[in-house]
Amino acid sequence: MALMILLPILAIGLIWGSCSLALGQSSDEYKARIVVEPKADGRYVTIRLMCYAAEDVTVKYKLGVTKSGTSGKSNSYQSGTVRIQKGEEKCLSQSGLGISPGDKYEIMFEVFKGEKLVAYDRASYPPLE
């Protein structure tokens, strides 16, 4: 029974992962990626926001998550400022999402140097067509 619940959640993680690779904007200097890790109970995922910088820099990040499903629609936002060392990929934030059948999620991650957008990533479930 647990395996039947876990398999769809693992598929969600793989779908989200492929979306982030396909949709993320990056350069040689900055890379942003969303990492989605399903939990064994099949009702929860951990989201990690990763950023690489080719220089010592302080960046600002913004995370936006829209969840819609049978219980309605909700939006949540998070932002912060983080120092990244040259050549480092750093986890800027980690948070969790509850998963229910029929829910749809859109996740947007943006990284700024000053006021300039330097990298972003986006993930959704079900995947964008």
Q: CA dist 9 to 2, 13, 51, 75, 122, Å?
A: 11, 6, 25, 22, 18
State the DSSP string of 34-74.
EEEEE-TTSSEEEEEEEEEESS-EEEEEEEEEEEEETTEEE
Residues of the domain holding 51: 2-125
- Per residue in 34-85, pLDDT tens? 998 888 787 888 899 999 999 999 999 999 999 998 888 999 999 999 999 9
* Number of domains observed in the structure of the chain: 1
- Per residue in 84-114, pLDDT tens? 999 999 999 999 888 888 888 899 999 999 9
Compute the C-alpha angle 83/38/65, nearest 5°. 55
What is the number of alpha carbons within 13 Å of residue 75 lying toward its C-beta? 4
Report pLDDT for 93: 95
pLDDT band at residue 8 under the 50/70/90 scheme: very low
Report pLDDT for 45: 83
**H or E, element range at 21:** helix 2-23
Closest CA to 59 of 21, 106, 110: 110
CATH number at residue 75: 2.60.40.2420
3-state helix, strand, coil in the chain (%, to 5): 15, 60, 20
Rounded to two decimals, the pTM is 0.75
The stretch 23-34 carries a mean pLDDT of 77
